[in-house]
Structure 1
Amino acid sequence: MALKLPRTIRLDPSDTFVYARAAEPGEWAVTGTFLFFGIDPETLAGKERQAFRAGFLGIDSFGWSTLAVVTEASAEERAAAVERLAKQLVAHCGAPDLQAARPAAEEEIAFAQSLCDHPPNTLLALHRAGEQSGIRESFRTLHQKVGRLDTATAFRIIEVDDEEDGPAEELDIRTLAGKR
């Protein structure tokens, strides 16, 4: 069985607007819920509230991503992700040293790995809610509907025979830019 981990993905620029710090596309990701322990979710507002509600944490930038994508990984990449997260826990979360941070980082990466029991390229979304007993997480997967979309493309190029449709229309962008 192949090893799989979530990576951040950005399908549009919205993460750069809704989060104080957006994760870069392609970072290994964890849920990041540990950053909200001890915080009353009702006190969060704006971009912090959005990160609480729906953000995956990119472990390189410590920024947020609305979606993650299931990605195959090697054992070496997984080990490097644990090490990178451990360093971030020391730098951002008050872990006293790497030796103390590694078990927590390992636990977070293991949980993230458990979310990836899906085919590669499956999108993952998360929703957090504050409850009396603590923080509740729920996850859902988003799958491409076969036949409706081409693989990860926003546009499809189709060839048009100009002879059938009449002369081709030309567009001069420089001229349009001057006409404001």
Structure 2
Amino acid sequence: MSPDPTLKLARTLRLDDSDALVFERPAEPFEWAISGAFEFSNWTEADLAGKRRQAFANGWLGLESFGRATLVAVTAISPAEYDALIERLSAHFVERYGAPDLEAARGPAREELEHMRAMCEDQPDNAILTVSRELVPAGVKESFRVIPPREAGLESFAVHGG
């Protein structure tokens, strides 16, 4: 089945070895990704040290390894892949965060993926996204930056493969 051109998400990129050096758990290249800010919802300044600070400051969450990546690129995703990611993230919420069961976890997982999908839907394929975060009195504030694809260059990443 070819991907629905209106359904987009982002895959992690690794342009060099820096992610492996700056994150406790680096995401693998080409994992589907979301912001993953929920991981930091209870953090304080005391939690922001070393590699944890780097994950907080600008790491996207890969949905296979649950590691972090600095860059992601927008690409099409099939509805079946998208639904599988909801299930994967739901299971992560049960296993890692104590959600009572998969049914209870599906709503929050779907919301996380919908947030990312909405961010990607109007972007051209191969647009690169970055995230930056800061702690504010109300919690975590995120800012996103879109780097448009250039005429040449991103084809070498082959982010369309799956």
Instruction: Classify the secondary structure of the residue corresponding to 1:21.
Output: coil
The answer to whether the Cα contact below 8 Å between 1:23 and 1:63 also exists between their aligned partners in 2 is: yes
The answer to whether the Cα contact below 8 Å between 1:59 and 1:88 also exists between their aligned partners in 2 is: no
Gaps of 5+ in 1: 155-180
Gaps of 5+ in 2: 158-162
Offset at 1:43?
A: 3.2
Residue 138 of structure 1: aligned partner: 143
| Partner Cα distance (2:141, 2:127) in 1 | 22
Structure having the higher Rg: 1
Deviation per CA, 1:100-148: give whole Å up to 9, x if none: 11101000000010110201111100000111122110000112444xx
Offset at 1:152?
A: 4.2
| Partner Cα distance (2:33, 2:153) in 1 | 25
Offset at 1:150?
A: 3.4
The answer to whether the Cα contact below 8 Å between 2:70 and 2:130 also exists between their aligned partners in 1 is: yes
**Residues 1:51 and 2:66 are matched in the alignment:** no
- Matched AA of 1:13: D
Residue 81 of structure 2: aligned partner: 77
Q: CA RMSD in A?
A: 1.6
- Matched AA of 1:31: S
Offset at 1:7?
A: 1.1
| Partner Cα distance (2:103, 2:153) in 1 | 46
Aligned pair count?
152
**Residues 1:127 and 2:143 are matched in the alignment:** no
Offset at 1:44?
A: 1.4
- Matched AA of 1:49: R
Could you list the runs of 4 or more consecutive aligned residues of structure 1 that deviate by over 4 angstroms after TM superposition? none
**Residues 1:118 and 2:105 are matched in the alignment:** no
Identity value in percent: 45
Deviation per CA, 1:79-107: give whole Å up to 9, x if none: 01111111111111111110111101000
Offset at 1:153?
A: 4.5
1:1-180 equivalences under 5 Å are 2-116=6-120, 117-146=122-151, 149-153=152-156
The answer to whether the Cα contact below 8 Å between 2:126 and 2:154 also exists between their aligned partners in 1 is: no
Alignment TM-score, normalising by the size of structure 2: 0.88
The answer to whether the Cα contact below 8 Å between 1:41 and 1:52 also exists between their aligned partners in 2 is: no
Alignment TM-score, normalising by the size of structure 1: 0.80
Instruction: Classify the secondary structure of the residue corresponding to 1:5.
Output: strand
Deviation per CA, 1:26-68: give whole Å up to 9, x if none: 1111101000111114531000000000000001111000011
* Structure with bigger RCO (C-alpha 8 Å, 6+ apart): 2
